[in-house]
């Protein structure tokens, strides 16, 4: 059984914007969010469940105003589903255990790194710096930064 789950206490602690994004499938403004230009090395986890989602090593500047990643840290922590809202055909990505809306994945990422762009709302993420991985319970992911 997974140690990650949709945590009611974490949901109760969300800011209004974090709640809107993760629980109501919202989108934060581009270029006015915490991680769109964040450069520190570390792990990005679901703000609701804590499940590991992306690393800074897979982050790139796509110019879209949201954090963009070429791949998830573990594909089984991501659920992809068709999203036909707003008159568009897109693929939504959600966290598996937290069921948080994260953002969308597009086929316009760097070709030399797989061609995908995971366009993710900062409001759905919590960042854990490399030096804090062990203390936060993510020591198993340290090797990704060596």
The residue annotated as part of the active site, out of 119, 125, 128, 144, is 119
**H or E stretch covering 20:** helix 16-24
Report residue 50 CA to chain centroid gap. 11
Per the annotation, the verdict on 119 as an active-site residue is: yes
Which runs of E-coded beta strand occur in 7-116? 42-46, 52-55, 59-60, 68-69, 78-83, 90-95, 101-106
Residues assigned a catalytic role: 119
């Amino acid at each position: 059984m997974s140690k990650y789950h949709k945590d009611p206490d974490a949901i109760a602690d969300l800011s209004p914007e974090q709640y809107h994004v993760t629980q109501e499938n919202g989108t934060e403004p581009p270029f006015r969010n915490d991680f769109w230009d964040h450069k520190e090395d570390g792990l990005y986890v679901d703000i609701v469940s804590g499940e590991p989602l992306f690393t800074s090593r897979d982050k790139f500047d796509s110019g879209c105003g949201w954090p963009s990643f070429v791949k998830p840290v573990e594909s089984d922590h991501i659920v992809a589903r068709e999203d036909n809202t707003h008159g568009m055909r897109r693929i939504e990505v959600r966290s598996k255990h937290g069921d948080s809306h994260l953002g969308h994945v597009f086929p316009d990422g760097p070709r030399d790194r797989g061609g995908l762009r995971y366009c993710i709302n900062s409001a759905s993420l919590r960042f854990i710096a490399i030096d804090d991985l062990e203390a936060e319970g993510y020591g198993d992911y340290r090797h990704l930064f060596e």
